Structure 1
Amino acid sequence: MHEPAPPPVLIIDDEQHLRITASQTLELAGYAPEAHASAEAALEALAPDFPGVVVSDIRMPGMDGMALLREVRRRDPDMPVILITGHGDISTAVEAMREGAWDFLEKPFAGERLVEMVRRGVEKRRLSLENRELKAELEAQQSAPGPRLVGRTGVMQRLASMVQRISQVETDVLLFGETGAGKDLVARSLHERSARGGRPFVAINCGAVPESIIESELFGHEKGAFTGAVERRIGKFEHANGGTVFLDEIESMPLALQVKLLRVLQERSIERLGANEPVPLDIRVIAATKVDLKAAAEAGDFREDLYYRLNVVTLPVPPLRERREDIPLLFQHFAVVAANRSGLEAPPVDNAGMSVLLAHDWPGNVRELRNLAERYVLLGATCDYRLDALLEGIEPGPGDMALPQQVELFEKSLISQSLASHRGRIPEVCEHLGLPRKTLYDKLKKYALKADDYRQTAPP
């Protein structure tokens, strides 16, 4: 296994001794410095998606550091640029931060200070590029027709390929997978990609419909068929005519009803309760189960003939723990959806959070991951976006808090979001929130928020 390449750092300064000293310091710290005497030369070496940071002096002949900053931000607004200022040149530093500099160093500076600033900049850049890659992949996924099967692992690529192939063939399908693995999404994908995509998709949870009414729900009834049947009712199968019926938790269907389902699958027609005339059907049936139906049939809990009728094409839907490489992509997808729906924003997941996601066993599969992403967006601010706290469910719930506490939590969340969006730039945060500077500082103190902490984070 190859060692990862050391993170690159562009160093720009017209003073040779500073270039040499900074390069040696960073090289000893494990980075790959590349020194340039002019901003023009550095820009020629700055490739798109450069994975490191830029460190530049402000005062240089030709293109100065401020002009370099503007050009770098024009090319890539997320590129961390650290500017070196002269002693006491505070006004220039303030201007640089307003222009979007990530941070600045004041001459003379210690080597440890440079290394720490570069370390944080490289980490921020890594998160930005990962976030960009995930968003690009999500956009590619969303360009596909129908619901997206999000994932890049081999098992998901094979599943997506099988879904595309089977969707073009008129055959019933059995989906097998654990609770929360995404069987309903696979069923919708099969429907949307098929010629039936514009017709009804009717989902029925066989375990959620009371046994006393499930037959009427599926097949419908005529007026007077039983007490309370005051008018004719069209059942789910008839309503889906021309489209697809999705029978989730098929193992929960009563044995007596399984006989009628078998007849529907064989004859492609139904009879409403209280009627004698069959109603022809043009439907595709997709069934889903979380149990081994063959074993259930052998145990007498499921009809064997129905199992073999359903088992024409079986698609296994993998649990999340078998495709851990998809977890970052899925989490990002669900977080973006939750953020768009709620109007809130959340920072990208850091290394510690990613470790939590990858280490968890996910017994609830994709459903559990989606719920966590929604909590991350809605309640993450209550625990500094610590995924371990959210996963363990130890964040305070708004419903358990008094109104003043809820108001303070909401206010803190808004201030935190504004700080992140404006990278800790106080004047812009004041303008955005409509607060006087003193009031904002009082609230920062009250909520233990520091503007400096947001200068190293990418805006949502």
Structure 2
Amino acid sequence: MPTILVADDEPAIRRSLREILDFEGYGIVEAEDGEEALQKAKAGGVDLILLDIKMPRRDGMEVLEALREAEVGTPVVMISGHGTVETAVEATRLGAVDFLEKPPDLNRLLVSVRNALSRGELETETKRLRQTVRDRGTNELTPIVGDSKAIERVKQTIERVAPTEARVLITGEPGTGKELVARWIHAESHRAEGPLVEVNCAAIPSELIESELFGHEKGAFTGATKQRIGKFEQADGGTLFLDEIGDMSLDAQAKVLRALQESRITRVGGDRSITVDVRVVAATNRNLRQAAESREFREDLFHRLAVIEIEVPPLRERRTDIPDIARYVLGEVARRNGFEGKSFAPEALERMKHLDWRGNVRELRNVVERLLILSDEDEIASGDVERYVMPGGGGGDPIAGLVDRFDTLFEFRDLAEKVFIERKLEENDWNVSATAEIIGIQRSHLYNKLKDLGIERPD
């Protein structure tokens, strides 16, 4: 069942709402002031927020505005004993889906809760299915999944630059999806009907890169038994994607620069100049500005390539996108491997949000495939993530790496606290009273912790 965050500074109101909603089968998380409500909402794991307006340490309107700025999409129903039309209008402007007066009428409360939860589910599904703003016959192209600020900036830049003839340099860590950005630039350009030719400059030996790019004539060198058309010619009328261009030799860079300046190439061993109409998109995981300053990369070529720069963010800067990406990849990989019907438990996705992902989206794809194949049930659980993905799975230390994994103290504290409590419960055969005494807190406090942190005794 969905989990509802009840944020109110009056214990009697929280108790009343808890009793009503608990009877209806909802999970309940409580917050007694605005700051606590904001932190619990940002930590995730709740499906609806009932938010009082008058609270200490941030009032409800301030919390609502902070949630909007942080792009927390959880639906919010405002509750107030001092409601006015102006307040209700302002709350709606800031994103609240409903406004209830205290004490809330029971039927009105339950209808509002059901409507808000339905709206939240619809918005989540819409985000998951959204692939692109425009559909120009590119249905088979992998979508750029996510709606974080970081990835939205990339999408907006693609939308603006793709229809132009400007050269684009795509930067980012390995595995972030630079080649996917290049494909979208081509697909959204006026050259979409022409070819998209991809060259991995790091995978071609330096002595062969010139032949690969410009082609060669028969007999140009030992082993050239027939004429070869190079990538520039193959991409005529379309887009040439030079991946990992930072690994290209200086000699080859000079020839690429000449081709860009003149829009003409000459095959190796040939004497005829060939006109080519090619838009070049390049990508690298290196800092080409620094490489140019140290003369490891031609500065003039850098400026030719980097008319527009697009930096693809690593997953650690777009953690809110991880559940959507994981679900999309799961569906894609499941269809390919005949595993239709599997899904992620919300707790598994939440745990995945906080992993390192040093290999970025590429690593996430590999992990999802691993979970799909190795998990036993139709729903991939958080235990599967711990067993097959998380550091510490299989007997290691789950605390290792937590410092680098989280951006905020709140996120670090919650998972560290959960790991600590689970371990102590296991040591005491899940005896809550004994565990509470050993770790030095009241039993009722520990019960609240178990509920807030989603800790359940394994079967």
TM score, norm. by length of structure 1: 0.58
**Greater Rg over alpha carbons, structure:** 1
After TM superposition, list the pairs within 5 Å mapping 1:184-203 onto structure 2.
Answer: 184-203=179-198
Report deviation, 1:197. 0.7
The verdict on how the C-alpha distance between 1:379 and 1:345 changes in structure 2, with shifts beyond 3 A counting, is: farther
Matching residue's letter, 1:377: L
1:281-336 deviation line (CA, Å, top 9, x unaligned):
11100010111101011112111111111121111111111011111111111001
Report deviation, 1:379. 2.1
- Matched-pair contact (CA < 8 Å) for 1:346–1:376: no
Task: List gaps (5 residues or longer) in structure 2.
Answer: 7-14, 26-46, 49-112, 395-459
1:172 matched to which residue of 2? Answer: 167
Report deviation, 1:394. 9.4
Report deviation, 1:134. 4.6
1:9 matched to which residue of 2? Answer: none
Report deviation, 1:31. 2.5
TM score, norm. by length of structure 2: 0.58
Q: 1:150 aligns with which of 136, 141, 145?
A: 145
Matching residue's letter, 1:200: P
1:220 matches 2:215:
yes
Report deviation, 1:348. 3.0
- Matched-pair contact (CA < 8 Å) for 1:221–1:234: yes
Task: List gaps (5 residues or longer) in structure 1.
Answer: 7-23, 35-50, 53-121, 397-460
1:311-369 deviation line (CA, Å, top 9, x unaligned):
21111111111011111111111001011111103543224312321111210111111
Q: 1:344 aligns with which of 327, 339, 347?
A: 339
After TM superposition, list the pairs within 5 Å mapping 1:288-303 onto structure 2.
Answer: 288-303=283-298
1:389 matched to which residue of 2? Answer: 387
1:398-454 deviation line (CA, Å, top 9, x unaligned):
xxxxxxxxxxxxxxxxxxxxxxxxxxxxxxxxxxxxxxxxxxxxxxxxxxxxxxxxx
Looking at structure 2, the residues matched to 353 and 170 of structure 1 have their Cα atoms a distance apart, in angstroms, of 43
1:260 matches 2:255:
yes
After TM superposition, list the pairs within 5 Å mapping 1:36-75 onto structure 2.
Answer: none
- Matched-pair contact (CA < 8 Å) for 2:348–2:380: no
Report deviation, 1:200. 0.7
1:166-223 deviation line (CA, Å, top 9, x unaligned):
0111111000100001100000000000011111111111000112211111100011
Looking at structure 1, the residues matched to 344 and 199 of structure 2 have their Cα atoms a distance apart, in angstroms, of 36
1:61-110 deviation line (CA, Å, top 9, x unaligned):
xxxxxxxxxxxxxxxxxxxxxxxxxxxxxxxxxxxxxxxxxxxxxxxxxx
| Corresponding residue SS for 1:215 | helix
Decide which moves more: 129-138 or 284-293: 129-138
Matching residue's letter, 1:194: S
Looking at structure 1, the residues matched to 283 and 392 of structure 2 have their Cα atoms a distance apart, in angstroms, of 34
1:330 matched to which residue of 2? Answer: 325
- Matched-pair contact (CA < 8 Å) for 1:204–1:246: yes
Number of aligned residues: 290
- Matched-pair contact (CA < 8 Å) for 1:151–1:326: yes
Looking at structure 2, the residues matched to 395 and 27 of structure 1 have their Cα atoms a distance apart, in angstroms, of 36
Matching residue's letter, 1:140: R
The verdict on how the C-alpha distance between 1:346 and 1:375 changes in structure 2, with shifts beyond 3 A counting, is: farther
1:141 matched to which residue of 2? Answer: 131
Matching residue's letter, 1:274: G
Question: What percent of counterpart residues are identical?
Answer: 41
Looking at structure 2, the residues matched to 278 and 240 of structure 1 have their Cα atoms a distance apart, in angstroms, of 16
2:232 matched to which residue of 1? Answer: 237
Matching residue's letter, 1:268: S
1:31 matches 2:19:
no
2:352 matched to which residue of 1? Answer: 357
- Matched-pair contact (CA < 8 Å) for 2:343–2:380: no
| Corresponding residue SS for 2:158 | helix
1:109-145 deviation line (CA, Å, top 9, x unaligned):
xxxxxxxxxxxxx9xxx8x998875543333316743
After TM superposition, list the pairs within 5 Å mapping 1:367-382 onto structure 2.
Answer: 367-381=362-376
2:90 matched to which residue of 1? Answer: none
